């Protein structure tokens, strides 16, 4: 972020402070606020809070045109012979005082790179040199897998990284030493995603191209403690026993269709955990149906299949636009992300749009927001929320990353608000894949691309 953006960020902080505290100060101001609190109804206070939040969002939106990338904030991913290597995922650290300024990027050659963004990416050599010595801000890099790394996350305390790879392994890494903490194998095909259970240091889940979701506990013998099989196999609708949801069961082999893109028809492409850790949300390659599972039904002795009653999802939500249902285009889900309240879910649907859905809404309720204007044709293209969840950033196959306003109001309740992007971030020359927003700094976003830059 350049000086202009830094100045605007400082102005933003001042504006937000004024909105929250007012321009008056001193003892007299505090008395007035105490008196007001004694007479203002709760409903009025809630409306006032919403008004402040809306003003803050409007101020943050003024910063978007200042988002720029330069030579000092561009990092080249190269093979040992100097060829560009596609980056698949990026992620900022979680904790403000220890890891939030650190950015991890993983690539097609199985390399993990950690970048210190607090140093502003000062170049030490020309970008034609091997990536191991290009930038002073590259904290470390190492070969983590013998195949592409498709997903990476930070542990809750930022002391470890978890990686999911095409070599069938899920691995844990010590950030300081870059040494392997654990290396687990249970999937039969490429591992596409990994997520840690909230507030749990040893529990996490992985999803893979084999259609399975495995639950892991690193305190055990290295084998999954639970297994959900064929979570997103090609669907054939059956009636729900509760009448409130539609469940699916796998069809016979002769009815199975070939996928229109290079992805296994049953692949689990993304997973997320709800706020309390017992709700697992999954998305797959076969369709745009989001499935919600209660992992409290799973024990170390359970080995479920979709035909078993106990392994049916708690409920499902279809995120396809009615105008595009059917046809030859693939409408699988490439990424999922909860907002900071864990009440809204971001769903990136291929060849369709990015949807924001209310997970507590009644069955059949339309998405709150539909973000369009980008080109999502690959399962590598992801989307993410801003720190306050009032904006969305998404990758695109046209070489740009797009940002949308994601605020909702009571006037949009029950109706889908279709929106175009507020800005297009143009700095790549090929598909933009992974995207990340700094968890504590609105002015920092990161993207990685098939062109080998981040």
Q: What's the 3-state SS for 97-118?
A: CCCCCEEEEEECCCEEEEEEHH
Residue 123 has pLDDT above 70, yes or no: no
How many whole angstroms separate alpha carbon 287 and alpha carbon 79?
A: 35
pLDDT at 49: 59
Q: For residues 110-134, give the mean pLDDT.
A: 59
Q: Is residue 397 located within the same domain as residue 263?
A: yes
Over residues 405-454, the pLDDT tens digits come to 999 765 445 678 899 999 999 989 899 999 999 999 999 999 999 987 77
Instruction: Convert the pLDDT of each residue in 251-288 to its tens digit.
Output: 333 333 333 345 566 899 999 999 989 999 999 998 89
- Identify each DSSP E strand in 218-257 by its residue range: 226-228, 236-238, 247-249
Q: Which of 48-52, 125-129, 236-240, 352-356 has the highest mean pLDDT?
A: 352-356
pLDDT beyond 90 at 130: no
**Same domain as 106, residue 238:** yes
Q: If you search the block for the tokens 């309720």, which residue do you land on?
A: 365
Same domain, 39 and 133: no
Task: Show which of 45, 63, 81 is a domain's final residue.
Answer: 63
CA atoms within 13 A on the CB side of 347: 33
- Does residue 82 share a domain with residue 59? no
Verify that 29 and 101 share a domain, yes or no: no
Strand arrangement, sheet containing 354-358: 333-338, 344-349, 354-358, 369-371, 417-419
| Average pLDDT, integer, range 196-222 | 94
Q: What is the pLDDT of residue 108?
A: 96
- Do 77 and 53 share a structural domain? no
Residue 42 shares a structural domain with residue 101: no
**pLDDT of res. 289:** 94
pLDDT greater than 70 at residue 73: yes
The answer to whether residues 247 and 347 belong to one domain is yes
Please tell me the distance from the alpha carbon of residue 46 to that of residue 43, in angstroms, as a whole number: 5
For residue 254, tell me if it sits in a domain.
yes
Is 141 within the bounds of a domain?
yes
**Domain count within the chain:** 2
Range of the domain at 410: 72-449
What average pLDDT does the segment 163-178 reach?
98
Q: What is the mean pLDDT of the chain?
A: 79
State mean pLDDT over 293-315.
63
- By C-alpha distance, which of 96, 133, 95, 99 is closest to 116? 99
Pairing of strands 369-371, 354-358: antiparallel
Residues 330, 253: contact at Cβ < 8 Å?
no
Question: Do 51 and 132 fall within a single domain?
Answer: no
Cβ neighbors of 83 (< 8 A, separation 6 or more) are 452
The two three-digit tokens of residue 40, written as one number: 């203002």
Beta bridge partners of 282: 271, 291
First to last CA, the chain: 14
If asked whether residues 445 and 364 sit together in one domain, one would say yes
**Residue 122 burial (CB count, 10 A):** 10
Is 126 found in the same domain as 11?
Answer: no
Task: For residue 27, give every residue at least 6 positions away whose Cβ sits within 8 Å of its Cβ, in sequence order, or none.
Answer: none
* pLDDT in the model for residue 355: 96
Q: Residue 250's pLDDT band (boundaries 50, 70, 90)?
A: very low
pLDDT of residue 100: 84
- What pTM was computed for the model? 0.79
Q: What are phi and psi of 450, to 5 degrees?
A: -65, -15
Whether residue 316 lies inside any domain: the answer is yes
Q: Which long-range contacts (CB under 8 A, 24 or more apart) does 17-23 make?
A: 19/52, 19/55, 19/56, 20/52
Check pLDDT > 60 for residue 334. Answer: yes
The answer to the question of residue 454 being in a domain is no
In percent, how much of the chain has pLDDT > 90? 53
**pLDDT one-digit tens code per residue, 287-301:** 899 999 998 876 544
- Cα–Cα distance, 293 to 316 (Å, whole number): 9
CA distance 389 to 91: 16
Please name the helix (run of DSSP H) or strand (run of DSSP E) that holds residue 206, with its range, or none. strand 203-208
Other beta carbons within 10 Å of 113: 23
Least confident of 33-42, 146-155, 158-167, 412-421: 33-42
> Domain check: are 189 and 314 in the same one?
yes
Q: What is the DSSP letter of 7?
A: H
Q: What is the pLDDT of residue 39?
A: 47
- Count of other CB atoms within 10 angstroms of residue 80: 10
pLDDT at position 311 is 66
Please report which confidence band the pLDDT of residue 121 belongs to, taking 50, 70 and 90 as the band edges: very low
Reported as a single tens digit per residue, the pLDDT across 215-248 is 999 998 889 999 999 898 765 443 333 333 332 3
- The answer to the question of residue 427 being in a domain is yes
């Amino acid at each position: 972020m350049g000086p202009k953006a830094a100045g605007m960020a400082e102005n933003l902080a001042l504006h937000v402070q004024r909105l929250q505290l007012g321009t008056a100060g001193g003892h007299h101001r505090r008395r007035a606020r105490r008196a007001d609190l004694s007479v203002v109804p709760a409903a009025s206070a809630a409306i006032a809070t919403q008004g402040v939040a809306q003003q803050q969002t409007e101020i943050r939106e003024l910063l978007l045109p200042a988002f720029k990338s330069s030579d000092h904030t561009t990092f080249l991913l190269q093979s040992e012979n100097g060829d560009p290597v596609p980056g698949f995922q990026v992620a900022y650290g979680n904790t403000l005082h220890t890891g939030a300024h650190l950015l991890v990027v993983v690539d097609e050659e199985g390399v993990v790179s950690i970048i210190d963004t607090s140093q502003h990416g000062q170049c030490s050599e020309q970008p034609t040199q091997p990536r191991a010595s290009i930038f002073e801000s590259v904290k470390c890099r190492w070969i983590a897998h013998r195949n592409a790394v498709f997903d990476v996350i930070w542990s809750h305390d930022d002391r470890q990284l978890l990686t999911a790879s095409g070599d069938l392994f899920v691995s844990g890494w010590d950030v300081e030493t870059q040494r392997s903490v654990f290396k687990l194998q249970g999937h039969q095909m490429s591992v596409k995603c990994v997520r840690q259970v909230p507030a749990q240091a040893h529990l996490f889940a992985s999803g893979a191209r084999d259609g399975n979701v495995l639950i892991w506990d690193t305190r055990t013998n290295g084998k999954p403690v639970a297994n959900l099989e064929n979570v997103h196999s090609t669907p054939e609708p059956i009636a729900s026993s509760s009448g409130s949801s539609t469940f699916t069961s796998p069809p016979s082999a002769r009815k199975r269709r070939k996928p229109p893109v290079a992805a296994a028809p049953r692949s689990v492409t993304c997973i997320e955990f709800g706020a309390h850790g017992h709700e697992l949300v999954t998305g797959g390659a076969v369709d745009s149906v989001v499935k919600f599972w209660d992992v409290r039904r799973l024990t170390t002795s359970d080995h479920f299949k979709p035909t078993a009653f106990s392994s049916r999802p708690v409920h499902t939500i279809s995120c396809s636009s009615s105008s595009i249902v059917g046809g030859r285009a693939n409408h699988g889900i490439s990424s999922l992300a909860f907002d900071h309240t864990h009440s809204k879910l971001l769903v990136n649907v291929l060849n369709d749009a990015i949807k924001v859905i209310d997970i507590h809404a009644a069955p059949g309720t339309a998405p709150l927001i539909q973000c369009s204007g980008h080109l999502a044709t690959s399962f590598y293209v992801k989307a993410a929320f801003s720190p306050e969840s009032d904006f969305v950033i998404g990758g695109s196959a046209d070489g740009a990353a797009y940002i949308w306003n994601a605020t909702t109001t009571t006037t949009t309740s029950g109706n889908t608000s279709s929106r175009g992007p507020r800005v297009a971030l143009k700095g790549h020359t090929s598909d933009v894949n992974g995207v990340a927003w700094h968890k504590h700094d609105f002015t920092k976003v990161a993207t990685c691309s098939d062109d080998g830059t981040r």
